[in-house]
């Protein structure tokens, strides 16, 4: 009777656990490997033991003290660029979304369609043209030319604003128009309706869009790589690539530590907003 019960369990549940565990290993092994190596005394690539012998923070200390690898400078640059770009992106996207959602005008549908079509092409596709454009801007206005954070932020601003306004507009459409009509009767201006009613009610989607945009810019490699030449201005994505030099004779512990620092905040943010992010992306993809 007992064995029958066990077989029944295996048939119903056991094999599911078995398969799931295989993929748990697949999913988590590289992550655990990096995390443990970042605190292991003798970190190396070959060591397949996941439980390190001897706990140490020396790799993190080394990372902050090597003048040739200004890692925390890169981290600061990344947060700076991603924060500024994401804030303005959401702000400008919200303004446009309001007009698309609440104002009636000629060409509204056409412009919305244009937005969708333009956003089919990721902005980095034309990176050659962006590079040459900013190469020339460097002559005219060096403060926003090639190699500057300002220029890079401008490019990021253009990159996802269409898609973002589209998503925000979709959310604003679900806010009952009776609210702003009532406000209009009371003599509120367009700006007041936006500021006092629509924008506050849209906050949930704005937070999600902000997080998605922030993560997107944080993780961007190609534009930052063509834009930033000065080591001190690099973002983490560009800089970390030089820490991972090809033959891996470099200290693997430091490499692991740099990965952990770069990945953890984003992973936490992502898991926290996981439902909204996949939901938002889904909605966007279905519509787009």
Partner 1 sequence: MIYLSMTLSKISRYVLLAIFNALIVYTIPLALTFESWFFLSLTLVIGILVNVVYFTDRFQPMKWILPGMIFMISFVVFPAIYNTFVSFTNWSTGHILTKAQAISVLEDRVFTPDDQKGLEFEMYILQDQDLKFYYVANLDSDNILFGRAVSDDEIFSTSYATHEPSLFINGEFSIPDGFYQLSGKEQIANSTTLQELSLVIDQNTRAQLYKISVFGASTGRLTSTSQLYTYDELNDVLINNATNSICPVIKDNFECDGNEIEPGWRVYVGGENYRKLFSSQRIRGPLNIVTKWTFQFALLSVIFSFAVGLLLSVILNKDGLKFQRIYRSVFILPYAIPAFVSALVWKGLLNPDYGVINSWLGPLYEILDVEPVKWLKTKESARSAVLLVNTWLGFPYMFLITTGALQSIPKELIEAAKVDGATGLQSFWRITFPLLMVSISPLLIGSFAFNFNNFTLIFLLSGGGPPIVGSEVSVGWTDILISFTYKLAISGGRGNLFGLASSVTIIIFALVLIISAISFRYTKRLERIYGNI
Minimum distance, C-beta of residue 174 to partner 1, in the bound complex (Å): 19
User: Measured over all CA atoms, what is the biggest interatomic distance in the chain, rounded to whole angstroms?
Assistant: 85
How many other CB atoms are found less than 10 A from the CB of residue 260? 19
Nearest 10 degrees: CA dihedral of 265, 269, 272, 273?
Answer: -170
Beta-carbon-side half-sphere exposure of residue 22 (alpha carbons within 13 Å):
5
> Which of the residues 267 through 286 are near partner 1 (CB under 8 A)?
267, 270-271, 274, 278, 282, 285-286
Q: Which stretch binds partner 1 (CB under 8 A): 63-71, 154-162, 173-181, 198-206?
A: 154-162
Structure tokens at 158: 């253009």
Distance (Å, whole) CA 146 – CA 139 = 10
Q: Does 166 bind partner 1 (CB under 8 A)?
A: no
Minimum distance, C-beta of residue 222 to partner 1, in the bound complex (Å): 5
> Which of the residues 182 through 221 are near partner 1 (CB under 8 A)?
190, 215, 218-221
Is 176 within 8 Å of 122 (Cβ atoms)?
A: no
Number of residues in contact with partner 1 under rule CB under 8 A: 90
Distance (Å, whole) CA 24 – CA 18 = 10
Minimum distance, C-beta of residue 57 to partner 1, in the bound complex (Å): 20
Q: What string marks each residue from 227 to 266 as x (binds partner 1 by CB under 8 A) or -? A: ---------xx--xx--x---x---x--x---x--xx--x
Minimum distance, C-beta of residue 185 to partner 1, in the bound complex (Å): 17
Distance (Å, whole) CA 63 – CA 70 = 8
> Which of the residues 97 through 136 are near partner 1 (CB under 8 A)?
98-100, 103, 105, 108, 111, 115, 117-118, 120-133, 136
Q: Which stretch binds partner 1 (CB under 8 A): 25-33, 51-59, 174-182, 199-207?
A: 25-33
Nearer to partner 1, 215 or 233 (CB): 215
Is 175 within 8 Å of 201 (Cβ atoms)?
A: yes
Q: Specify the residue for token string 């490019």.
A: 155
């Amino acid at each position: 009777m007992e064995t029958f019960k066990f077989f029944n369990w295996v048939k119903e549940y056991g094999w599911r656990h078995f398969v799931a565990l295989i993929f748990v290993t697949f999913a988590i092994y590289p992550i655990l490997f990096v995390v443990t190596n970042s605190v292991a005394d003798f970190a190396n690539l070959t060591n397949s033991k996941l439980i390190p012998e001897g706990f140490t923070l020396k790799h993190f200390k080394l990372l902050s003290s090597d003048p040739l690898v200004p890692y925390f400078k890169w981290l600061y640059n990344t947060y700076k660029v991603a924060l500024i770009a994401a804030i303005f992106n959401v702000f400008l996207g919200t303004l446009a979304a309001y007009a698309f959602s609440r104002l009636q005008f000629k060409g509204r549908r056409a412009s919305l369609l244009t937005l969708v079509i333009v956003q089919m092409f990721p902005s980095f596709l034309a990176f050659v043209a962006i590079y040459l454009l900013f190469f020339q801007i460097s002559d005219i206005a060096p403060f926003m030319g090639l190699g500057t954070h300002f220029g890079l932020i401008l490019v990021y601003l253009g990159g996802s604003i269409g898609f973002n306004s589209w998503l925000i507009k979709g959310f604003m459409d679900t806010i009952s128009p009776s609210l702003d009509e009532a406000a209009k009767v009371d003599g509120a201006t367009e700006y007041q309706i936006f500021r006092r009613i629509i924008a506050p009610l849209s906050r949930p989607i704005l937070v999600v869009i902000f997080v998605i945009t922030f993560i997107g810019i944080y993780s961007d490699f190609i534009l930052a790589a063509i834009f930033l030449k000065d080591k001190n201005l690099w973002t983490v994505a560009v800089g970390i690539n030089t820490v991972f030099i090809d033959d891996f004779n470099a200290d693997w512990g430091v490499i692991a530590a740099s990965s952990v620092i770069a990945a953890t905040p984003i992973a936490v943010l992502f898991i926290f907003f996981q439902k909204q992010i996949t939901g938002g992306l889904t909605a966007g993809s279905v519509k787009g």
